[in-house]
Structure 1
């Protein structure tokens, strides 16, 4: 069925890409997110061409939205330590290579933490990594994730995201992934004033850059600068506000990816709840 809400969750790639596609269909998802490697950053599993071909066919006949690869959480492209930055560059370059086996999909990463160097230096270091890894022939869209602002994180303000984009030579390869928990924790009131949040993003970055949305409730209050995801409807954002995000006309067609503290069966129930809330069940 086409024109349904594009929603999925985080799935494990341990049993292969096609298995993730099958699992998504089983839980009534039409997209999914995954790690290209262990989330702590170890060596990536080599691509099986037959596995990729099977997934691609499955996605086509089931009208999947783009799938989203997530960089390991340990990457910090704006670390003060050159070895940590070099590791981020190496992993991201290899992940971009892997994703070219799935052209037209998305790769998401956390901009990083400047660890006391300051936002400007952090942004310079992030753009340096992107300028060294992004190539004109790349067919994957690389997404900067909006962050909650904990510690010395870069990317909790729309202005920081836009500055990074503006300094990248291959900026046409870049997009943005919003995160409902991160936005709310960073002081963007998606509960009471979603229209203004989207208008501000459009004015600073441009809604044409918004390619994906992590859908999470929050364990912590508004503007707490914490990154504590909660199950849908169990946190300070609440189910009603999350449904308003799903139904906002400016977000029509955007794929949503659940990152709530769940196993697959929990994701299945959240997808059922959300599809019912928007009238799809």
Structure 2
């Protein structure tokens, strides 16, 4: 089965978001754990979560994606920003003890001129302060496009973070097709080679989830500009190759394309039609 969804709002509750996912043919969805540009998180309603669990079981949902706030920069050069990011990280992981079968995805951060090595060191310290031996939440570093001082622009940086975390059993990566392509990984002409490189550096088993996006910008541009599937420089053929690749086909996929609900529904219909592993 193709496990696919898109980014949805939880402003009306997790159960309603799941219903919305079902209505467009999705069996997963991504949501922000809190205001993406701030720090406020919505209170969790246990009755809502119980209804969510029932619906996820009924429709055989794949893991959900909980996305960390954009303001969470664990590697900032400002102490107060780092403290704020650490607070968000700790609180988010506590909240995900309640929300069922959910992966936590976040942007590693930006070193803001300190250098990537120093930035990685700060991120590792933050994760070691939060991730305990009994952590059961799958935590995913999102690979980035490489704009500005972003950390996670290549597999070596992601590996350095993973290797530095003591209890890293449930620490992996979420690859983003737009980010990969923009960072200089040619998934259009050499998808097998890119996956082999990831396997050589990090290990293919560390890829736990995929963001599916076309790109508005050219290869190796180091810019993060998502596009509707089939309307960008990556193209629908490559996206179809990604969902059908033997090493990726069973992962949960989420669309982050610039769409409304109807647009996501069309993309999901097309990708389900092109997926060759359905029973």
Q: Give the TM bin, normalised by the shorter chain.
A: over 0.9
Match of residue 175 from structure 1:
172
Q: 2:17 matched to 1:11?
A: no
2:53 touches 2:100 (CA, 8 Å); kept in 1? no
- What whole-Å deviation, never above 9, does each CA across 1:50-76 have from its counterpart, x for those lacking one? 111111111112111100100011111
Q: How many residues align?
A: 277
Gap regions ≥5 residues in structure 1: none
In structure 1, C-alpha distance between the alignment counterparts of 2:100 and 2:50, rounded to whole Å: 12
2:33 touches 2:68 (CA, 8 Å); kept in 1? yes
- Deviation at 1:136? 2.4
Q: Superposed, which structure 2 residues align to 1:13-162 within 5 Å?
A: 13-162=10-159
1:156 touches 1:186 (CA, 8 Å); kept in 2? yes
In structure 2, C-alpha distance between the alignment counterparts of 1:38 and 1:104, rounded to whole Å: 21
Q: Superposed, which structure 2 residues align to 1:226-241 within 5 Å?
A: 226-241=223-238
In structure 2, C-alpha distance between the alignment counterparts of 1:137 and 1:8, rounded to whole Å: 29
Q: 2:239 matched to 1:242?
A: yes
SS of 2:28's partner is: coil
SS of 2:234's partner is: coil
- Deviation at 1:225? 0.3
2:242 touches 2:249 (CA, 8 Å); kept in 1? no
Match of residue 256 from structure 1:
253
Match of residue 189 from structure 1:
186
In structure 2, C-alpha distance between the alignment counterparts of 1:113 and 1:42, rounded to whole Å: 18
SS of 2:250's partner is: coil
- What whole-Å deviation, never above 9, does each CA across 1:90-115 have from its counterpart, x for those lacking one? 01100101111124420000001101
SS of 1:172's partner is: coil
CA RMSD in angstroms, aligned pairs only: 1.0
- Deviation at 1:196? 0.4
In structure 1, C-alpha distance between the alignment counterparts of 2:175 and 2:38, rounded to whole Å: 23
- Deviation at 1:138? 2.4
